[in-house]
Structure 1
Amino acid sequence: MSSSNWTFSHPSTFSLVGIPGLEDAHVWISIPFCSIYILSLVGNGLLLAVIKTEPTLHEPMYLFLAMLAFADLIVATTTVPKILCIFWFRDHIIHTDACLTQIFLIHAVSTMESGFMLAMAFDRYVAICNPLRHSAILTNWVIAKIGLGIVVRGAVLLGPHPFLLKRLPYCTTNVISHTYCEFMALVNLACVDPTPMSAYSLAVAFSCGGLDFVFIVLSYILILRAIFNLPSKEARHKSLNTCSSHVCVMLVFYIPAVFTYLTHRFGHVAPHVHILIANLYLLFPPMMNPIIYGVRTPGMRQRALHILGIRSA
């Protein structure tokens, strides 16, 4: 280890391995990674353009969806370009400040994504359980305050992460067996007991994503109870259809997130499997969210085709 990289056990750079055990296949693995990233950029950019230019979509659900799309773009752009540099150019080195910034953005913005999904669930709850007051409750001012509150919560609760990591002594190695900088990956490199930091991270994760998921489930229990009390089958089907896109997006986000979090802390899976799932958690939702809403929302699909200059059948 060169002395230029180390000063009193605090490295100036870290080295990202990529996917351990699959180094020879990095070029091939980069093909789906790059394709997913391009689809995420195009899909979320188009989704934002559609919501901005289509007045009928200036509703709470789609405004929260626009916030989610913007967060998806940040998460994808924070991670994929560096991953592709590792895969294509074997550029494994990342400056410590860039690594800590990546950690903050990944965790803080992922927390914001969870909050936006909770806001979307709240919108569906009000729209179905109290439809006559929907527009009065979720005004543009209220939507803006909810969005700002979600952003502030993510920034404040995850803000200490990089500062805590920077103070840790890394006295053994600066090599991270991952494709991107991750909080627990750096904690496990430090020559200190990781238990307190792991407990802190777990508490923050539960107070954000865990509680968000609990409240989303409670919202849908109340929503389903209201739907099944509707008098006609047609009304029940229409109400369920308005929730289906959000449910799909929620499952795409939370299932990989829970699996990644639990296996990283408690599981015993092969490193390359864990890292592939961790990347899936970051890359798959940004690609799928625009597809889910584009397919299931006729107005959005038609507007997207119009922007692209494609005539719908």
Structure 2
Amino acid sequence: MDTTLSITNNSKFQVSEFILMGLSGIHEWQHWLSLPLALLYLLALGANLLILITIHHEPILHQPMYQFLSILAAVDIGLATTIMPKILAIFWFDAKAISLSACFVQICAMNSFMTMESDIFLCIAVDRYVAICYPLQYPSIVTKAFVIKATLFMVLRNGLLTIPVPVLAAQRHYCSRNEIQHCLCSNVGVTSLACDGITINRFYNLTFAWVIGGSDMGLVFVSYALILRSVLRLNSIEATSKALSTCSSHLILILFFYTAIIVVSLTNLAGGRAPLIPPLLNVLHSVIPPALNPTVYTLRNQELKVSFQRVLGLGEKVSRK
């Protein structure tokens, strides 16, 4: 008898825990995959913590754009930490078991952080739109109060729309199968094990994706289309170059983020044909953006570079030389 099944029929769940099977087809060398994943996780933690410390420490960075960037750094730390410790435990120690409650919490956390990241990219796009298209009105529109209100709105909206995802998953009846062909608790992977119908889950997931992801992505690209139109109307080549340089780092990250989401969604739909690809892309999409975001911002933003040097004590050395 399977020891993971409950011995009583009074419990709502007959299955007492899920088993995360890891990445099917590559079990023999997933230990090697864990090394670059661990390095990416450490990079994500270190770089984003450095951004948080630097923005807090440097008065010149106490601006709305950098405040949104600090929120993005905190979200990236949360997203990576939600999944990477468990994945590394599976790869290194074969710790595949996860309780039902922990699994549903992970679903909630992953969805919350992913939607928060999408919302922050929208806020950054709006910030750049106002700064470039309405520079004179920028100080009166994008204020500290604006940042606080936008952050509260993101938290409330994501809370109200994200919580039903794990709640609906927890309402399903898991009576026999408990092996998730993944190394994290994806909503699709968990609900596919349910013994009863999951039509309402699929309907809500589709609605959730369109309401949050679709609307955010649409507004982001509309904002940058308006920015591009405004920039191309500038008579000064230098002003055009400066405006495009300001937006380039944001646009690189936004394009990568939404492209990855679209690719993951399409591969999930075709998961039966390539069972390894969706789980692997899900893992990479949860750890690469947190590691990539601060790197791109550092390379493209001179103010951050100089501030990093001061915080790390390198500024004095450079000036002495």
> TM bucket by the smaller chain?
over 0.9
Q: Distance in 1 between matches of 2:148 and 2:4?
A: 49
Q: Distance in 1 between matches of 2:183 and 2:303?
A: 38
Does 1:187 find its partner at 2:188? no
Q: Distance in 2 between matches of 1:307 and 1:86?
A: 36
Q: Distance in 1 between matches of 2:131 and 2:209?
A: 29
Asked whether the 8 Å contact 1:107–1:158 carries over to 2, the reply is yes
Secondary structure, counterpart of 1:27 in structure 2: helix
Asked whether the 8 Å contact 1:83–1:179 carries over to 2, the reply is yes
**Taking structure 1 as reference, are residues 169 and 229 closer, same or farther at Cα in structure 2, changes over 3 Å only?**
same
Which 5+ residue runs of structure 1 have no aligned equivalent? none
Aligned positions of 1:169-188 closer than 5 A: 169-188=173-192
Name 1:79's counterpart in structure 2: 83
Question: In the TM superposition, what is the alpha-carbon distance from 1:170 to its structure 2 partner?
Answer: 1.5
Name 1:116's counterpart in structure 2: 120
Asked whether the 8 Å contact 2:122–2:220 carries over to 1, the reply is yes
Asked whether the 8 Å contact 1:117–1:250 carries over to 2, the reply is yes
Asked whether the 8 Å contact 1:13–1:174 carries over to 2, the reply is yes
**Taking structure 1 as reference, are residues 31 and 5 closer, same or farther at Cα in structure 2, changes over 3 Å only?**
farther
Does 1:237 find its partner at 2:238? no
The correspondence for 2:61, drawn from 57, 61, 75, is 57
Give aligned pairs, total.
Answer: 313
The correspondence for 1:25, drawn from 21, 25, 29, is 29
Secondary structure, counterpart of 1:94 in structure 2: strand
Name 2:153's counterpart in structure 1: 149
Aligned positions of 1:200-239 closer than 5 A: 200-239=204-243
Name 2:144's counterpart in structure 1: 140
Asked whether the 8 Å contact 2:231–2:243 carries over to 1, the reply is yes
Q: Distance in 2 between matches of 1:137 and 1:175?
A: 51
RMSD: 1.5
Secondary structure, counterpart of 2:192 in structure 1: helix
Q: Distance in 2 between matches of 1:245 and 1:37?
A: 21
> Which portions of structure 1, spanning 4 or more consecutive aligned residues, are displaced by more than 6 angstroms?
none
Superposed CA deviations along residues 31-77 of structure 1, whole A, max 9, x for unmatched, are 01100000000010001111111111111111111111100100100
The correspondence for 1:304, drawn from 299, 302, 308, is 308
Which 5+ residue runs of structure 2 have no aligned equivalent? none
Question: In the TM superposition, what is the alpha-carbon distance from 1:266 to its structure 2 partner?
Answer: 4.8
The correspondence for 1:272, drawn from 276, 289, 314, is 276
Asked whether the 8 Å contact 1:14–1:93 carries over to 2, the reply is yes
The correspondence for 2:264, drawn from 260, 263, 267, is 260
Aligned positions of 1:24-43 closer than 5 A: 24-43=28-47
Does 1:2 find its partner at 2:22? no
Asked whether the 8 Å contact 1:263–1:269 carries over to 2, the reply is no
Question: Which letter maps to 2:153?
Answer: G
Superposed CA deviations along residues 111-164 of structure 1, whole A, max 9, x for unmatched, are 011000000000000001100010100110111000110111111101011211
Q: Distance in 1 between matches of 2:105 and 2:4?
A: 24
The correspondence for 2:133, drawn from 129, 152, 165, is 129
The correspondence for 2:48, drawn from 21, 44, 51, is 44
Question: In the TM superposition, what is the alpha-carbon distance from 1:234 to its structure 2 partner?
Answer: 0.8
Q: Distance in 2 between matches of 1:267 and 1:232?
A: 50
Superposed CA deviations along residues 232-285 of structure 1, whole A, max 9, x for unmatched, are 111111111110010011122111111112221355542212211111111110
Question: In the TM superposition, what is the alpha-carbon distance from 1:100 to its structure 2 partner?
Answer: 0.5
Name 2:106's counterpart in structure 1: 102
Q: Distance in 1 between matches of 2:70 and 2:310?
A: 19
Using the aligned pairs only, state the percent identity.
38
Question: Which letter maps to 1:2?
Answer: T
Asked whether the 8 Å contact 1:10–1:166 carries over to 2, the reply is no
Q: Distance in 2 between matches of 1:233 and 1:267?
A: 48
Asked whether the 8 Å contact 2:165–2:201 carries over to 1, the reply is no
**Taking structure 1 as reference, are residues 27 and 266 closer, same or farther at Cα in structure 2, changes over 3 Å only?**
closer
Question: Which letter maps to 2:239?
Answer: A
Secondary structure, counterpart of 1:11 in structure 2: coil
Q: Distance in 1 between matches of 2:95 and 2:229?
A: 54
Name 2:16's counterpart in structure 1: 12
Question: In the TM superposition, what is the alpha-carbon distance from 1:79 to its structure 2 partner?
Answer: 0.3
